[in-house]
Amino acid sequence: MSEQAAIDAMDFARHRRALHGKIPAAQLERLRGLVSGDDAMVEYSVSGGVDDEGRLVLDLGVRAVLPLVCQRCLEPFGFPLDRRSRLLLAKDERQYDELDRDEAVEVILAERRLRVDRLVEDEILLSLPMAPMHPLSQCAAAQWIGEPEAKAPGEGG
């Protein structure tokens, strides 16, 4: 996405527009240092609309398998990401402060030139674990540090 798609957030939502595409993870500057490879692709979709209370929203979907480094064994692994978020649009700082009091909603300041790649990157960064790790059953270091294997449901223990 070298042309860096940008939308007028309020107009996009008001007219119920939709946009989808793919972005190479390597093009997302803040993410670049967190992934262990250059070939991951991030699929996204953004659609505008109005919620049940008549407020303008963006529905954002982000999917990818990101190559992260396990912090237990230091080996790369594919971290599956499939996130959907509804972002409530605030027209100015005053409205942002008002809407942000409700912890049940995510609020962003509507911009006339909202860069979609930055919106997608923000969503990814919020989704990443602080210390990414393989599941214990797949991690080579689990046997070295004496962590018990994950038990199947119904097994005693």
* Residue 145, domain member (yes or no): no
Q: Kindly state whether residue 144 falls inside one of the protein's structural domains.
A: no
Concatenating the DSSP letter of every residue in 141-156 gives GGTTTTPPPPPPTT--
Domain annotation covers residue 42? yes
| 126 in any annotated domain | yes
State whether residue 54 is helix, strand or coil: coil
Please give the mean pLDDT across all residues of the chain: 87
pTM of the model: 0.81
Number of structural domains found in the chain = 1
pLDDT in tens, 102-157: 888 899 999 999 999 999 999 999 999 999 998 888 888 776 655 455 444 454 44
In a domain, 152, yes or no: no
Confirm whether 19 is domain-assigned. yes
CB neighbours of residue 24 within 10 Å: 14
| 147 found inside a domain | no
Would you say residue 140 lies in a domain? no
**What is the residue range of 57's domain?**
6-135
CA distance 147 to 5: 46
Question: Minimal CA–CA distance to 67: which of 29, 27, 38, 24?
Answer: 38
Beta-strand ranges (E) seen in 6-95 are: 6-7, 18-24, 41-50, 56-69, 76-90
d(CA 24, CA 42): 6
DSSP assignment, residue 36? S
Of residues 4 and 6, more confidence is placed in 6
CB 147 within 8 A of CB 154: no
